[in-house]
Amino acid sequence: MKVVLFCGGMGTRLRDYAEHIPKPLVPVGPHPILWHLMKYYAHFGHKDFILCLGYGGIAIKEYFLKYNECLANDFVLSSGGHQIDLVHKDIDDWRITFVDTGVRTNIGERLAAVRPHLQGEEMFLANYADGLTDLDLNAYVEDFVRRDKVACFMTVSVPQSFHVVRADADQCATSLEPVMQSGIRINAGYFVLRQEIFDYLGPGEELVLEPFRRLMVKRQLLAIPYDGFWRSMDTFKDKMQFDDLVAEGRVPWEVWLPH
């Protein structure tokens, strides 16, 4: 299946880290988070990507145009440097379509803009470009196919250390519990969509608002809970947490590594 990745957001909450680097290019270890996400999909056999570009789109194009497999993989140098034999390759068999979908367009508008590149696809995958997981994608997609709905997405517990507060009419607190224990779950992306999604998507609409509400009315939208690893990079704090995981060698999203 083709994989649509929404790479055009402004990433304003990460500006303190890198004002001129689009969020998909913020590094996690030696590679941008976008590379990790694409590597994840490629591991499950999905290597035909459509990148919905906007803010920082030129930088993303330049990253792939200048991509050097030697810098990302082990290789053997011989003949005085005239011959290079790669031990592994990353993107050699990937197909990447770069589409400028506008700087200030929403996710639904970006998806509509790449619809011509999805002709003939009964189903396709889509995702935000800033979240990583160790989800078994094959089992996830198989479950979606078996249940024969129009769309699905993954839900996770709120991964912050905030507390949910409840109070009575006199503003006296009646309960205080960690948000992770509250049962509240959030949209974590990892969409699987059928072509029928475009029948529910109107001009200018945000994907997870009006179209998803229409799908919910017809019971055509699955919210699949997942309690394994998932983390997104929204703030500089998130960036630091990713760096800590890499430094500790705890990289559960790298499902392509031997275990």
Structure tokens at 241: 């947490």
Round the average pLDDT of the chain to a whole number and report it.
90
**Over 80: is that where the pLDDT of 53 sits?**
yes
Confidence of residue 165 (pLDDT cuts 50, 70, 90): confident
Q: In Å, how far from its chain's centre is CA 112?
A: 18
Structure tokens at 195: 């072509």
* pLDDT score recorded for residue 213: 96
Closest CA to 52 of 94, 121, 96, 101: 101
Question: What average pLDDT score do residues 55-70 get?
Answer: 89
**Over 90: is that where the pLDDT of 248 sits?**
yes
Question: Is residue 51 a contact partner of residue 43, using CB atoms and an 8 Å limit?
Answer: no
* pLDDT score recorded for residue 69: 78
Confidence of residue 12 (pLDDT cuts 50, 70, 90): low
What number of helices (H) and strands (E) belong to the chain?
Answer: 8, 16
Confidence of residue 75 (pLDDT cuts 50, 70, 90): confident
Question: Is residue 125 a contact partner of residue 192, using CB atoms and an 8 Å limit?
Answer: yes
For residue 45, give every residue at least 6 positions away whose Cβ sits within 8 Å of its Cβ, in sequence order, or none.
Answer: none
Dist CA 159 CA 184 (whole Å): 10
Q: In which residue are the tokens 């050699």 written?
A: 92
**Tens digits of per-residue pLDDT, 235-245?**
888 899 999 99
* % the chain with pLDDT above 90: 66
Structure tokens at 143: 């479950």
The single-letter code of the amino acid at 66 is K
* % the chain with pLDDT above 70: 93
CATH topology (fold) of 2-157+184-247: Spore Coat Polysaccharide Biosynthesis Protein SpsA; Chain A (3.90.550)
* pLDDT score recorded for residue 18: 59
How many Å is the maximal CA-CA distance in the chain?
Answer: 81
Structure tokens at 116: 């011509």
* pLDDT score recorded for residue 211: 97
Closest CA to 44 of 121, 180, 147, 141: 141
Q: In Å, how far from its chain's centre is CA 211?
A: 20
**Tens digits of per-residue pLDDT, 171-223?**
888 888 777 777 788 999 999 999 999 999 999 999 999 999 999 999 999 99
Convert 24-54 to b/e letters by CB count within 10 Å (16 or more is b).
Answer: bbbbbeebbbbbbbbbbbbebebbbbbbbbb
